[in-house]
Amino acid sequence: MTKLSIIIPVYNIEAYISKCLNSILNQSFKDFEVICVNDGSSDGSLAELQKCRDERVIIIDKKNEGSGVARNSALAVARGEYIFFVDGDDWIEENSLQKMIDEANRLKTDILIFGGLSYYEGKGQNGGYSANKLPKKYLNKVFSAEDIKKDVFKFPSTAWTKLYRRDFLQKNDIKFQEIKVGQDQLPFFHSMITAERIAILPENLYCYRKNRAGSAMTVKKKKNFSPIYVFYAVEEVLKKTDKLNDYKDIFVKKYFSKATSWLGKFQDDLKQEYFAEYSKLLSHVQSEYCLYKNFNPTIKDGYWMLKVKTILV
C-alpha cells in the first residue's frame, strides 16, 4: 500500500502548479501518490499538469464544482495510509514529508498538526499559521478530542496544516463541504471532535501563498452564503455524533459570529438576499440555543458596527 496520498485541487493556477509539484516530487520521502484534480480550469493548468511525467502523479479532469468536490473526488480513489492536502498555488518545505510520516508513525496519530508560513507576493513571509502559534500546553503529548473540548478553535482550521490517517477519515465519514468558500471548516471541526489520537509537530512545513490574484481568499466583498451553510452543516454533524450539548455554545458563537461579520462585508447587490437568510439563522439561534436574544443587526450595519453589537450582546 502507498504510504501517503497527497491531494491537490487545481483551478486556474497555471503559473503556480509547477512550483507546487516540484516541491513535492523533490522530497527525500518517495512513497506517495499525488492526486491532482483539475476542477474545470479555463487556463493552461491542465496542460501544465500533463507535462509532469512522474508516474506517482495521477490527474483527474472534471467540470468546475469547487475545491470541496475536487478533494472529495480524490479521497474516493486515494490509496495511502495517510492523507495530506495541498493547495496547488502553495508549496512545502524541504524534507517535510519525511518529518510528517516519521512523527505520525511514531505516535500513531489520527491527526498530526504542524505549522505553515504565509507568503505575500512582493512582501515576503509572516507567521499567520506558524508553529509557535499552536497551543503550547498540548506540545509533547498525544491528546484526544475529549481533551480539547474547550480549545478546539485554538487550532488552525486549514486542511493543509494537518496529516490525516485515511481510515480515520473513512470510519467517521469526514468529507469537505461542497460550497464556494470555507470548505475546510466542516472537516476541520468534524475531525477535531472525533479523533482519539492528535499530536503537534512544532515545525513550519507548509508555505501558503496569501495574496494571489484571482484567489477566493483575496476577494474583499463577500458574495456567497458559505458561513450560513457552514453553521447548519456543523450543527448537523454535532447532532449525528450526539455531541451537540458538548459543543453548542462554542460552535454557535464561532460560526454565527462569522456569518454576522460577512453581513458587514457583503456585496451590495446581493446583500438583501443574504440578510434574509441570515435573519432566518438568527431566529434559529435565538429559538434553539437561547443565545443572541437582544441582538438587533440591520442590513445597513457595517462590519465594525456589527462587531460592537456582537461584543455588547
Residue 11 C-beta-side C-alpha neighbours within 13 Å: 20
On the 0-12 / 13-18 / 19+ scale of CB atoms within 10 A, 259 is buried
> What is residue 67's predicted lDDT score, i.e. its pLDDT?
94
> What is residue 1's predicted lDDT score, i.e. its pLDDT?
78
Report whether 205 contacts 115 (CB < 8 A): yes
The answer on pLDDT for 213 being more than 60 is no
pTM value is 0.92
Tallying the residues shown for the chain, one arrives at 313
pLDDT digits (tens, 9 = 90+) for 252-292: 999 999 999 999 999 988 999 999 999 999 999 999 999 99
HEC sequence for 144-211: CCHHHCCCHHHCCCCHHHEEEEHHHHHHCCCCCCCCCCCCCHHHHHHHHCCCCCEEEEEEEEEEEECC
Whether the CA torsion 196, 201, 202, 206 is positive or negative: it is: negative
Q: Alpha-carbon distance 181 to 229, whole Å?
A: 10
Report whether 93 contacts 28 (CB < 8 A): no
Beta bridge partners of 115: 204
Q: Count the neighbouring beta carbons within 10 Å of the beta carbon of residue 217.
A: 11
Kindly report the average pLDDT of the chain as a whole number: 93
Mean pLDDT over residues 89-118, rounded? 97
> What is residue 247's predicted lDDT score, i.e. its pLDDT?
96
The answer on pLDDT for 246 being more than 80 is yes
> What's the pLDDT band for 224 if we cut at 50, 70, 90?
confident
> What's the pLDDT band for 26 if we cut at 50, 70, 90?
very high
Mean pLDDT over residues 97-107, rounded? 98
Q: Alpha-carbon distance 36 to 49, whole Å?
A: 8
Record the cell numbers describing residue 13, joined without a space: 493556477
The answer on pLDDT for 218 being more than 50 is no
Q: Alpha-carbon distance 260 to 258, whole Å?
A: 5
Listing DSSP states for 73-122 in one string gives: HHHHH---SEEEE--TT-EE-TTHHHHHHHHHHHHT-SEEEEEEEEEETT
Mean pLDDT over residues 220-234, rounded? 87
Domains and CATH numbers, the chain: 4-214 (3.90.550.10), 226-312 (no CATH)
Q: Alpha-carbon distance 130 to 143, whole Å?
A: 20
